[in-house]
Amino acid sequence: MGYEQLVSQNPVQSLSMGDKKNQLGLVMARAGLGKTALLVQIALDSILRGNKVIHVSIGESIDKTRLWYDDILKLIIEEQKLENATELMEMVARNRMIMTFKESAFSRPRLEERLNDLVLQNIFQPCCLVVDGFDFENSDRPMLEDIKDLSESMSLQAWFSAISHRGDDRFSPTGVPAPCHEVDDLFDTVILLKPESDATIQLDVIRNSGELVETGNGLSLDPTTMLVKKS
């Protein structure tokens, strides 16, 4: 593959769940702080490790989602001064599939059907599922359990993003804000994005691979590029 160096240099790997299957991850933040950017970096990390990723975008277009990948890849290529840019971008395109759903059209049976379309015909064998735009506000616990079930039955690692709101002070005992405060125990890894006064965005890891984490692990998002950095 030849991307080992890129993988090991990527600070994302310390919080992603590696190649562990059947794990559920959650990225939470208020609107506009970089949830999608982080999800895309987690997905890219997985692709660079040689996996295939399905990116489920709810309420977003294929083109927009694709643009996220292209932009972040370009930043990485620039930063690492990579030579084989086209090759890398093509490799990513081959190992990523975007599924977009209109809000009303997304459901577990739908998702399962789509995934089976791909897997059974051997078109695409994903290891990692990224779900951006899932509506936690209007979903209940059984629904999430259902999707957790699905990812387990298909041996997937799955990542979700959720929007928290300023002024909503409902929290789970471990500190996960609403709307996920009642379902946070379903997730093995939970990351909060917190804006700091110096304009950086800190990654507050509440739980990592099932272990509770007391303090953050010193990662932040560069506010201009939205790339994960060690601070």
Q: What are phi and psi of 28, to 5 degrees?
A: -125, 145
- Select 82 or 118, whichever has its Cβ closest to other proteins: 118
Question: In the complex, what is the shortest distance from the CB of residue 94 to other proteins, in angstroms, rounded to a whole number?
Answer: 6
Question: In the complex, what is the shortest distance from the CB of residue 143 to other proteins, in angstroms, rounded to a whole number?
Answer: 18
Cα 219 to Cα 13: distance, rounded to the nearest angstrom: 11
- Select 104 or 224, whichever has its Cβ closest to other proteins: 104
- Select 1 or 120, whichever has its Cβ closest to other proteins: 120
Cα 127 to Cα 169: distance, rounded to the nearest angstrom: 35
Residues 6+ apart with CB under 8 A from 172: 180, 181, 182, 184, 185
Question: In the complex, what is the shortest distance from the CB of residue 101 to other proteins, in angstroms, rounded to a whole number?
Answer: 5
Q: Mind giving me the DSSP string for 96-162?
A: EEEEEE-GGG--HHHHHHHHHHHHHTTS---SEEEEES--STT--HHHHHHHHHHHHHTT-EEEEEE
3-state SS class at 171: strand
- Select 63 or 198, whichever has its Cβ closest to other proteins: 63
* Binding region for other proteins (CB under 8 A): 55, 61-62, 65-66, 93-94, 97-102, 104-106, 110, 113-114, 116-118, 120-121, 123-124
Question: In the complex, what is the shortest distance from the CB of residue 62 to other proteins, in angstroms, rounded to a whole number?
Answer: 4
User: Quick one: which H or E segment has residue 207?
Assistant: strand 201-208
Question: In the complex, what is the shortest distance from the CB of residue 212 to other proteins, in angstroms, rounded to a whole number?
Answer: 36
- Select 59 or 175, whichever has its Cβ closest to other proteins: 59
Please say whether the beta carbons of 130 and 39 come within 8 A. yes
